[in-house]
Amino acid sequence: MLFRLVLGLYRLLLPVFLLTALPGWLARMGRRGGFGSGLRERFSIYTPPLDHEPCGAVHLHSISVGETLLALKLIRAWRDRDPAQRFVIATGTATGHAVAVEADLDDVRVTYSPVDLRICVARYLNRFEPAQIVLVEGEAWPHLLLACRKRGIPVRLVNARLSPRSEKRYRKLAPIVQPIFAMLDKVAAQEEADIARWEALGVARDKITVTGSSKFDPGAAVMPALRPEFTDMLAAFGPHRPVILAASTHGDEEAWLAAALHDSAALYAVVPRHAERRAEVKAALEAEDREVILRSAFHPPADPARACFVIDSTGELRDWTAHATLVVIGKSILGTGGQSPAEAILARKPLLFGPHMENFEPLASSLVAAGGAIRFTDAAQLATTANDLLADPARCSRMCDAAARVLAIHTGATGRMLDMLAS
């Protein structure tokens, strides 16, 4: 009864919310290059002829870049098993859409996931008739799940994780969210400890399979690779100069790190989480008396010792990590939750992060306990630690070995996930 009441309220308020949020959403999509990418598909308005659509395909719903990269990994591994299987990637953001398009996988339709209005969901399902829908790390929308249940379309959640913050919020709303999560046909949880969490949110125990994290599966990962054009750019800052790479930074972290690393002999390179923040990041770093070189408008620096490198690109972080000497994880310092440490570990780079890695627990704490990562609490500690690591390659190698051992528990996760999805 409560769920029906809340669902009715949701249906009443969602259109109001969408209309209110639309101007800001359109502005954000414009900054991220959404216009011209088929953005109308978010409202189930399609231009390709209907008879060109891959009906009966497996649909993978991803939100942004990280989830889309994981969806692409799953598709590649699935095709190794079943080359005839067809796929659709439905993304929630323009950046995720761009990554899927740029991957250019043969016979994979890239679209936008529909907003959760009943008419949009119905048009989407009528057009594509998915064989199943795979939600990559979220999001479980009520109308999508209800419509799929009525049509007998399985909906599975993979790489399922709950941050402590999300779990706490969901538990407070348990009577409301339990009927939603109960509609999931299967959940691929990352660890045994996650079983009780998903059960508390309404998922039956027999629907939960512990697979590990495909994101952290070293056996199925696309390994970070050195690119000659990246090497040439970095050489302009000084040949063979060490690089401290700040990965997926948020908010004011770029300037905070620039101040902390002011006296380091290493090149400070930063990859903002959202490339469209380039002007904001550039201004903040210039206020720290840095010469700023943008990846998008590259030219050799006038003063390499004072320069820093802002990598304002999308989908390149993995390979830039291969060129780093040390990696600092963004959103762990002034933000909350942290970003994935997987690329740095796979690239065998010493890993540092701030106090806020909540979204990647218990992995983050396991890395620290094993000596595979260092958690710093302030700017002084970061500066000292970075200098010590740059001067001690043997210690760096030991850290990388320890981090690889921690990540090894997820080996085979992608295969276990595919076993679940194919069943």
Q: What tokens were used for 133? A: 């829908």
Which one of 67, 253, 254, 343 is the catalytic residue?
Answer: 67
Lay out the sheet containing 307-310: strands in order across: 291-294, 307-310, 267-272, 243-249, 326-329, 351-353, 374-375
Q: Left (φ > 0), alpha (ψ -120 to 50) or beta: where does 192 sit? A: alpha
Provide Rg for the chain, Cα atoms. 22
Cα separations (Å) of 373 from 365, 370, 376? 9, 8, 10
Cα→Cα distances 258→103, 181, 267, Å: 33, 43, 10
Can you tell me the distance from the alpha carbon of 292 to that of 307, in angstroms, rounded to the nearest whole number?
6
Beta-strand ranges (E) seen in 240-373 are: 243-249, 267-272, 291-294, 307-310, 326-329, 351-353
Question: At which residue do the structure tokens 């398009």 appear?
Answer: 101
95 three-state secondary structure? helix
Cα–chain center distance at 361: 15
The vertex-235 CA angle with 234 and 238, nearest 5°, equals 105
| 53 flagged as catalytic | no
Task: Give me the active site residues, please.
Answer: 67
